[in-house]
Amino acid sequence: MKSDKKLIDDAGKRLDGRGPEELRKIKIEVGVLHRASGSCYLEWGGNKVMVAVYGPREAIPRHTQNLLRAIVNARYNMAAFSVEDRKRPGPDRRSKEISKVISEALEKVILTEQFPRASIDVNIEVLDAEAGTRCAGLTAAGVALADAGIPMKDIPVACSAGKIEGRVVLDLGKEEDNLGDADLPIAISPRTNEILLLQMDGHLTLEEFNKALDFAIKGCNAVSEIQKKAILDKYQSVEVVE
């Protein structure tokens, strides 16, 4: 729905004061849940996400087992209180779709062939939602998998870019997502820049698409540095305590 509200001014300043290529503030904590094999709490702007990884463990029921590799079950869930209008608890079409695309993205980086018949379960709980929750969830999942010690080719990371009032910008906020022209969330393997997930809603010219993709890849690389720092901070401080 369009409104008269200006999302970006002539100087390129956005509603929350960010420039076109600026990310929202991100905070990552590693290993916050002691019963999980690995966990991560992430805040990204107004998004708050908790991820708990369990496994690798024997996949149950047995007919779900793959004899050659582990299966990756990401389950994205939005808490009823995470959005403005209370969300009906339980899975819906949107959360099933997000769970599927995140599972497929994670499968590409996890060395699943090392764990035949196993499942790796990645529970993504969105506690507060302010646009970009699939990117926040996947980014937190990458950290939680690393915390669980699950062998991966790389730590996956996600970020979106989009278009508001005809301008390509990085990392859409809530009003930008609601009132903007397009949103392009992607996930990559930052070592190789391989794209693990790419979705888009709205309309972009090819030129705008290429620019948005470039912005989103740069955003992913910046978020990847925050992921690595959070993991190093946890494990370096563990060493000091020992």
Under the rule (CB under 6 A), what is the footprint of ligand CDP? 83-84, 87, 94, 129-134, 174, 177, 185
Residue 59 or 135 with smaller CB distance to ligand CDP: 135
| Residue 174 near residue 183, CB atoms below 8 Å | no
Q: How far is the CB of 97 from ligand CDP (least distance, A)?
A: 9
Write the CB contacts of 198 (distance below 8 Å, at least 6 apart in sequence).
Answer: 184, 185, 186, 187
How far, CA to CA in Å, does 34 sit from each of 4, 6, 169, 240?
48, 45, 38, 20
Residue 117 or 177 with smaller CB distance to ligand CDP: 177
Residue 87 or 234 with smaller CB distance to ligand CDP: 87
Q: How far is the CB of 231 from ligand CDP (least distance, A)?
A: 23
H/E stretch holding 240: helix 206-241
Residue 112 or 160 with smaller CB distance to ligand CDP: 160
Residue 83 or 217 with smaller CB distance to ligand CDP: 83
Residue 185 or 219 with smaller CB distance to ligand CDP: 185
On the question of a cis peptide bond just before residue 56, with omega within 30 degrees of 0, the verdict is yes
Q: How far is the CB of 62 from ligand CDP (least distance, A)?
A: 34
Strands 182-189 and 157-164: antiparallel
Q: How far is the CB of 28 from ligand CDP (least distance, A)?
A: 18
Phi, psi of 121 (to 5 degrees): -105, 125
Token pair of 212, please? 């948005």
Q: How far is the CB of 163 from ligand CDP (least distance, A)?
A: 14
Is 32 exposed, middle or buried, given 0-12, 13-18 or 19+ CB atoms closer than 10 A?
A: middle
Please state, in angstroms and rounded to a whole number, the distance separating the CA atoms of residues 235 and 54: 19
Residues, the chain, total? 242
Q: How far is the CB of 241 from ligand CDP (least distance, A)?
A: 37
